[in-house]
C-alpha cells in the first residue's frame, strides 16, 4: 500500500481525505491511470475530494512537495490528457457530482465537475432545457472532462462546443488559490476572460471545481434529410450553401466515399456515391416544414445524386442507420483504428478528402473520413491490424502526414478531442514560437511550479 510520495504528504492527505478519499492500493491507482487513448501510467495515489476546500488543500499540499496533480473526470478522453505519466496524485471528481442549482429563469445551471453529461441532460429535461455539448460518450463522461477538453459533438454546428456553453467557473490554480470568473449572465465586458481560457486547457492551468453552464431551450421536434453527392467537392459546396443561409442546421454530418463504399460492402442500403451529408433541423411543428425546405433547397445542387427527407421519428432513424452502422463496419475490416479529429476550413474539405485518399493509396491502408462538416471538424480514421507489424508501422507513418496535410490546408490539430500527449509534439507545427511562448507564459501565470498535469498540451 506504500506510495512513493513524500511520507509527510501521504500522511497529510490521508488525514485530510479519509480512507475513502485517499486511495493508494494498486488496483485503484491502476483504474485511475488510463483513459480511452489506451495509454496508461500508474499514479502514486488517487485523491477523491468531497468539496472545493479539499481540492485547494490537495493542490497546496502537493505544491509544497512539487508533486504532479492530474485532474480526472470519467477517463473517456482519447488523447492521454488524464494519464499520469509523471506519477503523482490523480484527483478524481467522482464525489463532487452535485447539480448545485438549476436556474431556468436565468437559463443556466450550476454544477460540480463530476456530474455526468447524460445525468445533467436528464435533470434538465423537465425544465425544457438542455446543455448543448453532446460527445459520443455523453452517458459516461463528466462535465469537468467536457470543459477540460472543450468537448463538442454533432450539435456544435448550431449550438457551439463546451467553451461556447459555459458562463462562469470556480477553479483552483496551481498555487492552490480559488478563483471565480464569469457568472450567471451571457454578456460580460468586466476584466479578463479567464473562463474561456480555462476551458480546453486540459487541467494544466487550474482544476475546475464548479461551473455555471449556459443552457438552450430544448427543441420540440427534429427532422432531417440525407443527401448523396457525386464527390466530396459537391458535398462541400453544399455544406457552404447550408451554412450561408439563415436556417442554421442542428446537425450537419459528412461521410466520404470510402465510408460509403465500406457500408455498401456490408450490405447497408445506400447508393454508390462519392459523399453523403446528414442534415437536421430542429424546432416545432409550426417551424420545421419551412426549415426543412430551406435546408433541402441549400443541399440541392448539380452534384446532388439523391435526397431523402425524414419528417417523423422512424424515418429519421432509417436515415441515420447508415451513420450508426459505420463504426461497427469499421471494426470488421480492421480492429485497429487511429481516429483523429482534425479541423479544416469548410472550403478545404474537398482538399482534405483528396489528400486522405492519396495517403490511403500511398500507405496501402483503408482511411475513411466522416464527421462534423459544418464545423470543418472531421474524423479521419486510419484502419490497421495491430498484430500486423508492417501495417501498424504504416498507420503510424501515415499519421504525421495527415497532420502535415491539415496544417497545409490552413486547418488545426483538434476540434473536440484535445491535445493531451497524442498531438502534443505537433503543437510547434500548429503554432509559431512566439505564440507557444505566450501559452507557456500563461501556463506559468496559473501554475508557476508546473505541477498541474505536466507534459500535456505544450510541447516539452
Q: Would you count residue 411 as binding its own copies (CB under 8 A)?
A: yes
Q: What angle do CA 164, 165, 169 make, to 5 degrees?
A: 105
Closer CB to its own copies, 118 or 459, in the complex: 459
Toward its own copies, which CB reaches closer, 212 or 258?
212
Q: Could you give the string, one character per residue 300-339, with x where binding to its own copies holds by CB under 8 A and - elsewhere?
A: ----------------------------------------
Over the window 170 to 209, marking each residue x when it contacts its own copies by CB under 8 A and - when it does not, the resulting string is ---x---xxxxx-xxxxxxxxxxxx-xx-xxx---x----
State which of residues 14, 294, 333, 421 lies at the interface with its own copies (CB under 8 A): 294
Of these, 105, 126, 267, 328, which contacts its own copies (CB under 8 A)? 105
Indicate left, alpha or beta for 75 from its phi (over 0: left) and psi (-120 to 50: alpha). Answer: left
Among 25, 128, 386, 400, binds its own copies (CB under 8 A): 128
Least Å from the CB of residue 27 to its own copies? 32
Q: Across-strand partners of 369?
A: 380
Q: Which candidate, 320, 315, 155, 323, places its Cα nearest to that of 248? A: 155
Set of cell numbers at residue 356: 486522405
Site string for its own copies, 274-293 (x = CB under 8 A): --------xxx-xx--xx-x
Min CB(154)–its own copies separation in Å: 11
Q: Does 394 bind its own copies (CB under 8 A)?
A: no
From residue 349 to residue 378, the character string flagging contacts with its own copies as x (rule: CB under 8 A) and all else as - is: -----------------------x-xxxx-
Q: For the CB of residue 392, give the shortest distance to its own copies in the complex, in Å.
A: 26
Please give the backbone phi and psi of residue 216, each rounded to the nearest 5 degrees, phi first.
Answer: -120, 150
Site for its own copies in 19-48 (CB under 8 A): none
The nearest distance, CB 4 to its own copies, in angstroms, is 31
Residues 412-441 that bind its own copies (CB under 8 A): 412-419, 423, 427, 430-432, 434-435, 437-439, 441
Handedness of CA 160, 246, 378, 136 (dihedral sign): positive
Which of 104, 118, 336, 450: binder of its own copies (CB under 8 A)? 104
Q: What angle do CA 248, 322, 318 make, to 5 degrees?
A: 80
**Is 218 a residue that touches its own copies (CB under 8 A)?**
yes
CB of 438 to its own copies, least distance (A): 5
How many residues bind to its own copies according to rule CB under 8 A? 100
Applying CB under 8 A, among 85, 229, 363, 446 the residue interacting with its own copies is 446
For its own copies, which stretch binds (CB under 8 A), given 32-40, 68-76, 127-135, 312-320? 127-135
User: Would you say 3 or 137 has its CB closer to its own copies?
Assistant: 137
* Footprint of its own copies on 62-101 (CB under 8 A): none
355 by Cβ neighbours in 10 Å (0-12 / 13-18 / 19+) ranks as buried
Question: Is residue 145 close enough to count as binding its own copies by CB under 8 A?
Answer: no
Please report, for residues 78, 162, 258, 335, the alpha-carbon distance to residue 81 in angstroms, rounded to integers and kept in the order given. Answer: 8, 17, 31, 23
Quick count: other Cβ atoms within 10 Å of Cβ 125? 11
What is the smallest separation between the CB atom of 325 and its own copies, expressed in angstroms?
Answer: 25
One residue of 14, 347, 357, 449 binding its own copies per CB under 8 A:
347
Contacting its own copies within 106-125 (CB under 8 A): 106-107
Which window, 66-74, 89-97, 258-266, 405-413, contacts its own copies (CB under 8 A)?
A: 405-413
From candidates 25, 271, 335, 345, binder to its own copies by CB under 8 A: 345
Which region among 19-27, 30-38, 224-232, 244-252 touches its own copies (by CB under 8 A)? 244-252
Closer CB to its own copies, residue 95 or residue 107? 107
Asked if residue 404 binds its own copies (CB under 8 A), the reply is no
What is the C-alpha to C-alpha distance for residues 265 and 194, in angstroms, rounded to an integer? 50
CB of 201 to its own copies, least distance (A): 6
Amino acid at each position: 500500500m506504500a506510495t512513493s510520495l513524500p511520507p509527510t504528504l501521504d500522511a497529510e492527505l490521508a488525514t485530510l481525505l479519509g480512507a475513502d478519499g485517499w486511495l493508494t492500493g494498486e488496483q485503484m491507482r491502476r483504474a485511475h491511470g488510463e483513459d480511452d487513448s489506451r495509454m496508461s501510467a500508474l499514479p502514486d495515489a488517487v485523491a477523491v475530494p468531497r468539496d472545493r476546500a479539499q481540492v485547494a488543500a490537495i493542490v497546496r499540499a502537493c505544491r509544497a512537495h512539487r508533486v504532479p496533480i492530474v485532474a480526472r473526470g470519467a477517463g473517456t478522453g482519447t488523447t492521454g490528457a488524464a494519464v499520469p505519466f509523471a506519477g503523482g496524485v490523480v484527483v478524481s471528481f467522482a464525489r463532487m457530482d452535485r447539480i448545485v442549482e438549476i436556474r431556468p429563469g436565468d437559463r443556466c445551471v450550476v454544477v460540480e465537475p463530476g456530474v455526468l453529461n447524460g445525468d445533467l441532460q436528464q435533470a434538465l429535461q423537465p425544465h425544457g432545457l438542455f446543455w448543448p455539448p453532446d460527445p459520443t460518450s455523453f452517458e459516461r463522461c463528466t462535465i469537468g472532462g467536457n470543459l477540460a477538453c472543450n468537448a463538442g459533438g454533432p450539435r456544435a454546428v448550431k449550438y457551439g462546443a463546451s467553451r461556447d456553453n459555459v458562463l462562469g467557473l470556480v477553479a483552483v490554480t496551481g498555487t492552490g488559490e480559488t478563483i471565480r470568473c464569469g457568472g450567471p449572465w451571457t454578456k460580460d465586458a468586466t476584466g479578463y476572460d479567464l473562463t474561456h481560457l480555462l476551458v480546453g486547457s486540459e487541467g494544466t492551468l487550474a482544476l475546475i471545481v464548479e461551473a455555471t453552464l449556459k443552457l438552450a431551450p430544448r427543441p420540440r421536434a427534429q427532422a432531417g434529410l440525407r443527401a448523396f453527392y457525386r464527390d466530396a467537392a459537391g458535398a462541400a459546396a453544399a455544406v457552404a450553401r447550408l451554412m450561408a443561409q439563415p436556417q442554421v442546421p442542428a446537425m450537419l454530418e459528412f461521410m466520404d466515399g470510402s465510408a460509403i463504399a465500406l457500408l455498401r460492402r456490408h450490405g447497408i442500403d445506400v447508393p454508390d456515391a462519392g459523399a453523403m451529408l446528414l442534415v437536421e433541423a430542429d424546432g416545432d411543428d409550426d417551424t420545421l416544414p419551412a426549415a426543412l425546405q430551406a435546408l433541402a433547397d441549400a443541399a440541392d445542387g448539380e452534384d446532388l445524386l439523391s435526397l431523402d427527407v425524414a419528417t417523423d421519428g422512424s424515418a429519421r432513424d432509417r436515415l441515420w442507420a447508415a451513420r450508426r452502422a459505420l463504426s461497427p463496419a469499421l471494426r470488421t475490416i480492421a480492429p485497429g483504428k487511429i481516429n483523429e479529429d482534425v479541423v479544416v476550413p469548410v472550403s478545404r474539405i474537398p482538399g482534405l478528402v483528396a489528400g486522405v485518399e492519396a495517403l490511403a493509396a500511398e500507405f496501402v491502408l483503408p482511411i475513411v473520413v466522416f464527421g462534423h462538416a459544418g464545423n470543418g471538424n472531421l474524423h479521419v480514421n486510419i484502419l490497421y491490424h495491430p498484430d500486423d507489424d508492417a501495417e501498424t508501422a504504416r498507420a503510424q507513418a501515415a499519421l504525421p502526414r495527415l497532420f502535415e496535410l491539415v496544417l497545409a490546408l490552413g486547418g488545426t490539430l483538434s476540434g473536440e478531442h484535445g491535445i493531451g500527449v497524442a498531438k502534443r509534439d505537433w503543437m510547434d507545427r500548429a503554432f509559431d514560437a512566439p505564440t507557444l511562448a505566450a501559452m507557456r507564459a500563461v501556463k506559468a501565470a496559473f501554475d508557476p511550479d508546473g505541477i498541474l498535469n505536466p507534459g500535456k498540451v505544450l510541447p516539452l
